[in-house]
C-alpha cells in the first residue's frame, strides 16, 4: 500500500500511461504510413518499369514517409527496449553502480533529445519556407516527423527514469523485480 503514496510511483504510473498511449498511437501511425509507403513504392516501380511513364511524386512521398516511419518507429523500439544500445559495461557491474549507470544513461539520452529538440525548433523555423520540388509539400512537415519522434522518445526516457527513481526509493537495484509488477 505504501507504494501508492510514493511520489515517484505516482509520477511513474502517470507518465507510463501517457507513454503507453503514445506507443499505441505510434504503432497505428507506423502501420498507416508503412502501408502508404508500400503502395507508393509499388506505384512508382509499376509506372516506371511496366508503363514506362514514371510518376514524379513517388520518390518525394517515399522520402517523407520513410523519415516519419524511421523516427516514429524508433520511438516504438525505444519503448520496447529494442533500440540498439551499448550496455555491455552497465550489465557487468553489480547492484547500486549498475542502477546509477542506468540512470546516467537515461539522463544523457534525455539531454541529447532536449538538445536535438532545441535544434529541431530552429530547423522548423528554417524549413517552413521550403517546399518539395514536385509535390509542393512544405518541408516543415518533413522536419515535424523528426521532431515528433524525438518528443515521443523523450517521454519514454522520462518514464524510464521515473521508474528507476521509484525502484531506487524502494531500495531495489533494478535487477530485482517487484512482485505483481509495477
Q: What is the pLDDT of residues 119-142, one digit of tens each?
A: 878 777 888 888 888 888 888 888
Q: Which three cell numbers stand for residue 70?
A: 524511421
Q: Which three cell numbers stand for residue 108?
A: 544523457
Q: What is the pLDDT of residues 50-87, one digit of tens each?
A: 999 999 899 999 999 999 999 999 999 999 988 777 77
Q: Where are the alpha helices (DSSP H) in the chain?
A: 7-45, 58-79, 88-92, 95-127, 139-169
The string over 87-117, giving b where at least 16 C-beta atoms fall within 10 Å of a residue's C-beta and e elsewhere, is eeebeeeeeeebbbbbbebbeebbeebeebe
Q: Which three cell numbers stand for residue 85?
A: 544500445
Amino acid at each position: 500500500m505504501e507504494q501508492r503514496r510514493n511520489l515517484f510511483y505516482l509520477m511513474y504510473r502517470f507518465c507510463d500511461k501517457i507513454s503507453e498511449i503514445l506507443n499505441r498511437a505510434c504503432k497505428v501511425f507506423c502501420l498507416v504510413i508503412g502501408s502508404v509507403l508500400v503502395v507508393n513504392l509499388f506505384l512508382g516501380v509499376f509506372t516506371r518499369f511496366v508503363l514506362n511513364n514514371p510518376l514524379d511524386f513517388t520518390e518525394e512521398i517515399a522520402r517523407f514517409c520513410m523519415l516519419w516511419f524511421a523516427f516514429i518507429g524508433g520511438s516504438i523500439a525505444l519503448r520496447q527496449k529494442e533500440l540498439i544500445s551499448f550496455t555491455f559495461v552497465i550489465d557487468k557491474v553489480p547492484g547500486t553502480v549498475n542502477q546509477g549507470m542506468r540512470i546516467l544513461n537515461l539522463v544523457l539520452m534525455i539531454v541529447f533529445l532536449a538538445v536535438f529538440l532545441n535544434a529541431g525548433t530552429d530547423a522548423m523555423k528554417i524549413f517552413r519556407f521550403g517546399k518539395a520540388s514536385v509535390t509542393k509539400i512544405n518541408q516543415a512537415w518533413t522536419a515535424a516527423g523528426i521532431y515528433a519522434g524525438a518528443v515521443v522518445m523523450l517521454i519514454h526516457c522520462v518514464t524510464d527514469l521515473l521508474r528507476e527513481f521509484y525502484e531506487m526509493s524502494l531500495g531495489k537495484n533494478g535487477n530485482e523485480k517487484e512482485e505483481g509488477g509495477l
